[in-house]
Amino acid sequence: MRRILKRVTARFCRDEGGAASTIEFAIIMPLFALFLGAMVELGWMNIRHAMLERGLDTTVREIRLATGFVPTYETIRDKICASAGIIPDCIATLRLEMKVVDPRAFTGIPDAAECQNSAEDPRPLRNFQSGEDNDIMLLRACYKFEPIFPTTGLGGSLVKDAQGFTAIVSTSAFVQEPR
């Protein structure tokens, strides 16, 4: 058995056919794998962002139409997570900011979104104001997640916090209808 194995290996090592295509494969394959990984990462980010937008839009629509729930932080977050569907660990990683806006002296929500990942301890709310009848409201949702490939391709170029999480932010505006 050893002789046969030795003979087959020696013949394999002497054969130089196909060497040129092996070098091309060794050069192109890592680039192709990097490109494929970036596309998978981008696809998951797109799905998560679309579902966050959908959850935020359906929740804002319910608030606008005053369909029976009081807009507190927990109820809004739970409604967004229920509508978002496939976002993993939504309740632990979704952070909301809501602010009453004066149309005559507009000041928006600060540029830096208030985000929280599941590895951090819960923090108090920075900016969450419930509105009165006919108030213009800005609502921003920030969802943090870990990239699939955090060190290569698209995942390597994303802005991440100290624990390796990156954020998806979605904003909506609405008028608080009279009840």
pLDDT for position 153: 77
Average pLDDT over residues 96-107: 84
Dihedral pair phi/psi, residue 89, rounded to 5° = 55, 45
As a whole number of angstroms, the longest Cα–Cα distance in the chain is 91
Average pLDDT over residues 122-145: 76
Residue 16 lies in a domain: no
Under 8 Å between Cβ of 139 and 76: yes
DSSP H or E stretch at residue 7: helix 2-14
pLDDT digits (tens, 9 = 90+) for 71-97: 788 888 999 999 988 888 888 888 888
Residue 88 lies in a domain: yes
pLDDT digits (tens, 9 = 90+) for 18-73: 666 777 888 889 999 888 888 998 999 999 999 999 999 999 888 887 666 667 88
pLDDT digits (tens, 9 = 90+) for 161-177: 888 888 899 999 888 77
Under 8 Å between Cβ of 133 and 177: yes
> What's the domain count of the chain?
1
What residues make up the domain containing 119? 22-175
